[in-house]
Chain A
Amino acid sequence: MSAAAEQVNKVAQLRERIRALEAAPRQRLSVVRTGVAAFDALLPQGGLPLGQAVELWGEAATGRTSLALRAVASAQRAGRLCAWVDGPAELYPPTAEALGVDLRALLMVRPRAPGQLAWTAQQLARSGAFACVVLDVTHTGARLGLQEGKKLADAAVSSGTLLILLTPRDAPADGMLRLGTTASGAGFTVEVLRSRGGGVNRSVEIPWEALWEKGAPMGLEARAPDAPPPAGPEGLLEVGYRHRGASAARSRACLGIRGQRPGRDLRIPSGLQGALSG
């Protein structure tokens, strides 16, 4: 086959492919799956529904932020932009990145006044430029009133945006889908408290490892507080300028918290004296 004929053949194939793509039904994003199987299965639509205000309501350290970050990462993987209205200014971008969030495609907004939080989220959701908008009002003292909640829900519905509200236990909002989160030992429990799609009062317990795939930090196993620290310097994981390379071996001999040699440089805190002498 000549080169020209081959080229014509390729062009015809490409045309056919484009025709097939155009004729195929559009794959519109309808739900955002967090990737935590138990959590997604709990939700009536199998994920967080777009075009709704979803409220994650619970105490601090009950997995709400990680779930929201996973939803953001999931929406970004589908080629969408996301925004995070960070009322308490506590979102930690390095962790977000580690959870798969593309920081370049995540607009972070930190309004100074708590009163601006709902308005900001409403503007972002209404614009339609973001697939997922997270409004975090934890630790801000702000409480979303009925009117604000309705405006937020309307903005989400009109633009088809997923609006995630992170609300504290003492200040619930008016999300169409409210999920309560509670810490419970080795994991946390998520309960559907309000839902238009059914499944109210269903709950699921999710282990912490499911949120942070790697589990315990730095490969260390969780242990009871009264258990003795691991013998030898291996139990101390050192990350820092002074502890890399050849100097690390020397520094590992320093068991004191201030890097001092026991009994020589500095007085060791009383709490550690027993452990060191033991």
Chain B
Amino acid sequence: MRIAYLHLPRFPLQRRIWETPALHGAPVVLWEESRGQKRVVFASAASARAGCAPGLTVTAAAALVPQLQAFPLDPAAEGAALGSLGEALMAVAPGFQPSGLEGLWLDGSAAALCGGERGLCDRIEEIARGHGYRGRAVVASDLFTARAVARHGAPGGEPVVARQESAERLQALPLRALAEQAPAAAQALAALGLTTLGEAAALPPGAVVARLGAEGLRAQRLCRGEDGTLFVPAELPEVLEEALSLDWPAESSEPLLFGLKTLFDRVCARLAGRGRAAVRLQLSLKLDPQGEKSLPLLLARPSAVPKLLLDLARHRLADLTLENPVGGLRVRVEESCEDRGRQMALGDSRRQDEALEVVISRLQSALGEDALFSGEVLRSHRPEAAYRRGAFHPPRMSAGELGDSGARLFSAPPSRQAEKAKVEEAPEPGVGVSVVDRPPRLFPKPCSLEAEVGPSGQIRAARLLGKRRRATAVAGPERLCGEWWESEAYRRDYYRVHFEGLGPVWIFRDAEDGRFYLQGMFD
């Protein structure tokens, strides 16, 4: 199996600077509390030049650089951020495994899709750059070689280590490359005066076992490029969520949108890595000092395009009034579906999709989510229960500027399976086949009708729209009944009646009370 390793030097520091651009070029350190003392873990280039190194106490570092800015390191948050990047990289690698806080191992078996292993390295670095991180990718046959070459290899060197070349490429690397995987053995070997992995690899194995035991032998095997450690892909979190804390509470939309752009970029990259598209998102604004405001973002067409999501959020925020400034942002994907991409036809434009999402979002925020829907026909004989409100997810219509002819030209013919499914989905006889004879206007509640009935039981006239109207023609009855097993059983005889001065209307006589009701109009 081929393994890629992406080395992200001082990843937590890179992340901090990406989130707070004002820190760029400034002396910054991240510290961690160790035995009651705040010790530097990561130091920026500016602070390193002044002598700040990992292991130094923050007090000593501040004495060296008076303008030093020190922030606590949050390993959990850094690990989550690294995992997010790993998910984004799943667009080019089927799986990833975090390596500390500065790197990721990736499954390199899909390198052929990127034009080979060199192409895979370029693509990985490009994706990382897209997220604001600087890194170096190397492909090798084992985990140790990939990491050692990426971290300690000469900058600008060959990123691909061929299958039988591991030992050769490791030979010149410094012994400290071993310290991360086998610290005790590395220390012992360094005490013997060895400086490179090649020197350690050249030692007689018997002597190494005699002096350093099994740990020493394992370290030597690593130096020879014979690492047998298995690649264990990380499990993806079920909830796809990204959060960001703003350094200063935001009182205008500009800093909010800046933060949201970062969040949506990450969320969409993670979605793309999983091959999914968002259907519903939840945007939470954490208010400072207290309170929280949640905004749902519902998409008509599933999408993993950050610009589209940002546009939606911008429109939702434009109408929003908050009591307190915003101190943090959180985006959670509530619902997602498989991203099948989009086959565009000649003349198709993405702007239409954006316009659709924006107008739907605007209407949802003004009218409420339940005011917008798409009708779904149900298999029910009771007319008023023959449909329900469903989510509006319009199908792709690739008409473009070519109109109907374009759509026909570029639409694939229905497969045999699809045709079979269509036949299977056809309603059973008696259900749905007669809907063409239902009125286009159906009152939500049938209105009681003052009807005059002839001796034969047929309707002769009725009071409609404020005046008595004579029935000029009647068609029916059509009996609809059912749900006798429910508390609200129905049994109705429907008639289509032409009244004077009106078009046909749809009325029924209820078996329960024998009265006539107006249910709809053939408008």
Seen from chain A, the residues whose Cβ lies within 8 Å of a Cβ on chain B are 18, 21-22, 26-29, 59-66, 69, 76-81, 88-99, 102-112, 116, 119-120, 123-124, 126-129, 138, 183, 185, 188, 208, 211-214, 216-218, 220-226, 228-229, 235-244, 257-259, 269, 271-272, 274-275, 278
| Contact flag A81-B514 (CB < 8 Å), given A96-B440, A111-B367 | no
**Residues in A neighbouring B465, C-beta threshold 8 A:** 59-60
Bound-complex Cα distance A27 to B408 (A): 13
Q: Are A208 and B399 in touch, CB under 8 angstroms?
A: no
B498 at interface (Cβ–Cβ under 8 A)? yes
B362 at the interface (CB under 8 A from A): yes
Q: Does B61 contact A (CB under 8 A)?
A: no
Tell whether, in the assembled complex, residue B374 and residue A104 are in contact, meaning their CB atoms are under 8 Å apart.
Answer: yes
Closest 7 CB pairs of A and B: A79-B399, A93-B375, A61-B503, A217-B437, A127-B359, A98-B436, A129-B356
Check B188 for interface membership: any CB of A closer than 8 A: no
Nearest neighbor of B351 in chain A, beta-carbon distance: A128
State whether the Cβ of B54 lies closer than 8 Å to any Cβ in chain A.
no
Residues on B with C-beta less than 8 A from A18 are 346
| Cα separation A103 to B358 with both chains bound (whole Å) | 21
B328 at the interface (CB under 8 A from A): no
Given A65-B441, A183-B502: A217 and B401 interface contact (C-beta under 8 Å): no
For A22, the closest partner residue in chain B by CB is: B346
**A107, B372: Cβ atoms closer than 8 Å:** yes
The distance in angstroms between the C-alpha atoms of A220 and B437, with both chains bound, is 11
Q: A78 CA to B403 CA in the complex, in Å?
A: 5
Question: Nearest chain B CB to A90's CB is how many angstroms away?
Answer: 4
Contacts of A244 in B (CB 8 A): 429-430
Name the residue among A81, A226, A239, A259 with the largest chain B CB count within 10 angstroms.
A239
Can you give 12 contacting A-B residue pairs, CB < 8 Å? A28-B403, A60-B502, A65-B523, A66-B522, A69-B440, A95-B442, A105-B395, A225-B497, A244-B429, A259-B481, A271-B456, A271-B514
Interface bin, chain B: 35 or more
A107 near B374 with CB under 8 A, answer yes
Chain B neighbourhood of A98, CB < 8 A: 435-436, 438
Which residues between 466 and 507 of chain B lie within 8 Å of chain A, taking CB atoms? 471-484, 491, 493, 496-498, 501-505
Residues of A within 8 A of B455 (CB): 271, 274-275
For A242, the chain B residues whose CB sits under 8 A away are: 481-482, 484
- CB-based contact A89/B437 at 8 Å: no
Minimum CB–CB distance from B174 to chain A (whole Å) comes to: 54
- Which single member of A80, A107, A240 contacts B482 (CB below 8 Å)? A240
Assembled-state Cα–Cα distance A138/B472 (Å):
25
B371 interface residue per 8 A CB criterion: yes
Q: Assess whether B37 is interfacial by the CB under 8 Å rule.
A: no
Residue numbers in A under 8 Å from B493 (CB-CB): 236, 257
Q: Which residue of B lies closest to A21 (CB)?
A: B346
From 373 to 402 in chain B, residues with beta carbon under 8 angstroms from any chain A beta carbon are 373-377, 381, 383, 386-387, 389, 392-395, 397-402
**CB atoms of A212 and B436 under 8 A apart:** yes
B377 near A223: Cβ-Cβ < 8 Å? no
